[in-house]
Structure 1
Amino acid sequence: MDAIVKNFPVLDDASGRPTQKEAEEAVRVLLRWAGEDPQREGLLDTPARVAKSYRELFSGYDLAAEDVLGRTFEEVAGYDDMVLVKDIPFYSHCEHHMVPIIGKAHVAYLPNGRVLGLSKIARVVDIYGRRLQTQESMTAQIARAIDESLAPRGVAVMIEAEHMCMAMRGVQKQGSTTLTTTFTGTFQTEPAEQARFMTMIRGFK
């Protein structure tokens, strides 16, 4: 019975995700396509390692931002000024070439009676970072998730990142940085709040 179960080609879950075995075979195909021999000693365990690392690198698909942001706090002693978490490091992957995006996110919001635990903001960055991404989409996704879950007076998100698809291939321009921003609510309608957000990011370095 065990032999039958082990050899039966089932999917990993109801979403249609391939099995570990299928993922490892895909890595072997890519190794052969690159000109390598998957059977040489140094590469024998590579398919399993790659599949395992992809589970971690793309773990954001198994998490939902609304679950992380579901708990808020109302006992804030009347605090209603900007809350900013800056320099949140993240690693993502470009959806066009599947190579790394390395950067940091700055996330702020203006409370409207409730606040988030500060670690929740960093976790939301990780959730969206650990998916195939464009920087523009990731910036908007973080802002939208906080805006919808917390209903603050406004949200501001800036991401600064280096894209390995520009550094390692193509134009091969190492060290270039891409900046993207998304503003909602008061941050969108009042330029002074945008300016204060930027000053708080840059002024305390």
Structure 2
Amino acid sequence: MELEQKLTKVYEIEHSLQTLMTLCGQQDGIPDLNETPFRVIKAFLEYTVGYRENPTEHLEKTFDISQNDPIIVKDIEFYSMCEHHFAPFFGVAHVSYIPDKKVTGLSKIARVVEGYARRFQVQERLTNQIADAVQSVLKPKGVIVAIEAKHLCVSSRGVKKEEAKTFTVVSHGVYSDNPQLRSEFMMAIK
């Protein structure tokens, strides 16, 4: 898209955001809010930076290390945006895999989480995308991903349950077949 077309879209969105602010009851003419629509656009571009990358590419850097036991990266903080309400949801992801022949850098797991979280999302899809990425690129004996998150669309609107959290789990390979491995993972992330 040409620069002129992009700028036209930005101006249209700014106008729409100003209309939304007025609809919500915001009075015109408050100087401190003149730049709010543009700041909102910039924020949304940051919230959705994951669309402008392929998170699986982070996993392509591997090392030939003999490892038969699980590798667990836990408490990976993330922030995402609910695709239904454009309300934030945030929490932690826990990722474990049992390598077959190769491992990746620990930070690469966190980058995959970040890459998929920084999109309009639902937690269930996010959990699946992370597990599927690790499975497809690293081809481990098994992978399991658990996410615990707080959704502002649940706590600050609608049902307004402030303490509610959502927990999702996806597993592949030996983590799907072996209840003891799943149990060990769940104990490790507590």
TM-score band w.r.t. shorter chain: over 0.9
What residue number does 1:91 align with?
79
1:66 counterpart letter in structure 2? T
- Cα distance change of structure 1 residues 40 and 153 upon mapping to structure 2, 3 Å threshold: same
Distance 2:27 2:48 in 1: 26
Show CA shifts across 1:167-195 (max 9, x none).
10111111111100000000001111111
Moved more, 103-112 or 32-41: 32-41
Equivalent position of 2:18 in the other structure: 28
- How far 1:35 sits from its partner (Å)? 2.1
**Take 1:146 and 1:109, find their aligned partners in 2: how far apart are those partners?**
8
Q: Is the 8 A contact 1:80 1:113 kept in 2?
A: no
2:103 maps to 115
1:111–1:152 CA contact under 8 A, matched in 2: yes
CA distance in 1, matches of 2:49, 2:24: 26
Tell me the TM-score normalized by structure 2. 0.93
Name whichever structure is richer in helix by fraction.
2
Residue aligning to 2:39: 49
Asked if 1:162 corresponds to 2:158, the answer is no
Distance across 2 between alignment mates of 1:122 and 1:19: 33
CA distance in 2, matches of 1:153, 1:43: 54
TM-score under structure 1 length normalisation: 0.87
Select which of 130, 154, 173 maps to 1:142: 130
Give the unaligned 5+ runs of structure 1: 13-17
Gaps of 5+ in 2: none
State how far apart, in whole Å, the 2-side matches of 1:25 and 1:151 are. 48
Helix, strand or coil: the match of 1:97? coil
Paired residue secondary structure (1:90): strand
Higher relative contact order (CA 8 A, sep 6+): 2
